Amino acid sequence: MYKRLSALMFPITTLLLIGALVWGYQENQEKNSILIKAENQYQRAFHDLSYHMEQLHGELGNTLAVNHTSSGMHRKGLVNVWRLTSEAQNEINQLPLTLLPFSETEEFLSKISNFSYKAAVRDFTKKPLSDNEMGNLKALYKNSGEISKDLQEVQNKVITNRLRWMDVESALATEDKAEDNTIIDGFKTVDKRVAAYPELDYGPSVASIYNKRSVKKLGGIPVTVEDVKRKAVKFADIGGNPTVDVRENGKGTEWASYTAVVTSKDHKEPVSMDFTVEGGLLISYNDNRNVGPAKVSMNQAVTKAGEFLKDKGYPDMTAVSADRYDNMGNLTFVTSRNGILIYPEKMTVRVGLDTGEPTGFQASDYVRERQEKRVISKPGLTLAEARKMLNPEYKELYNRLAWIKNEDAEEVLTYEFGGKINGSQYRIYLNADDGHEEAVEEVRKSSGAQGK
């Protein structure tokens, strides 16, 4: 009996053992294949990064080598600089550096990219490279050469010592002897070098991208908790002997603000508001009431939102866009002054389409950009002259004067033309002095105000 059972089980056990070994071998092979692919990708990205940084250094040198009046070569060189920095940024993102401080180098490349792009797309016949910009190019040429040299040294060590990027990923993930890793040390050296470079003046168009917008820049006399309580109760206006709870956010930082929560027996849900510490300006408002099924139109909601803003101390606000999301409406209002829309002074209002009453708004842009005495000159072109600058196929639906911030972060007066072309709706902003395009925006279809 035992012999017969053994004779039966032995081949079965043998087959199972062989199967397990084969399965384990295949699993190991697949794992090794994945690791090899990952390693190859990391190696390719790193060597491409080193190559493109060297190319970037050379392209900056080429741009500086030509005569300062060679606008065509300057444009071509800056376009290539923008392309190469974009390639380098992409390659950095492919490396396992998320746990390694490399932010200084990434921001350095980002600023070069934005600087070169914004300079390359402008008309050099009207606005050639300035002495300051040429100075920037010289500094960037020197700095990129140093970075390229550092990366090449790391590259030589990687090739000579056959270093693996998978070891870098493992070291960063486990923090196991990460400080002794040659590749990690090399990248830390690069980042420290970049951090030591003096800050360049890239001009307002690039600086605006990296500017920290803080409530501290607003100025004004700091308000107390009691001041905030009075402001919150008055703005909420919900009656029923309300109580207010106030907390300070970011105390001692440039983002310091107050959050006030107003509750009342006459109002089912609390009303919350954020105020700046400097000046006690209202940044946001939120009524947490439940919103029922939609019963009012977007146009009715726009009208009610405008009345709400006027009643709350925001006169002369005009709706410039309206989007519907289920039973909610999201409206954008800007200041209207002497028939000119002031787009920087913008606020977003949220309305419940059950009653059309606002349930909140976000006014941080309005608060930061509000200017009582903003100087706006008269347009240099007539409406008819500006209209001639439009594409002949553009079907105009409306026009109005608009004060906007262009790509160079400069505030300019424009003619805003709303219309259709190629089956889509657009807003085109033409400079009111010379007619060139300052901005073009596609308008998504919605059921609200987009201009009339």
What pLDDT, on the 0 to 100 scale, is given for residue 171? 64
What pLDDT, on the 0 to 100 scale, is given for residue 25? 55
Beta strand 282-287 with 328-337: parallel, antiparallel or unpaired? unpaired
What pLDDT, on the 0 to 100 scale, is given for residue 447? 42
pTM, two decimals, is: 0.70
What pLDDT, on the 0 to 100 scale, is given for residue 284? 95
Could you tell me the two tokens for 42?
A: 């990391």
What pLDDT, on the 0 to 100 scale, is given for residue 10? 57
Q: Can you give the residue ranges of every domain in the chain?
A: 2-210
What pLDDT, on the 0 to 100 scale, is given for residue 13? 64
Return the amino acid letter for 364: S
Residues of the chain with pLDDT under 50: 177-179, 447-452
What pLDDT, on the 0 to 100 scale, is given for residue 127? 81
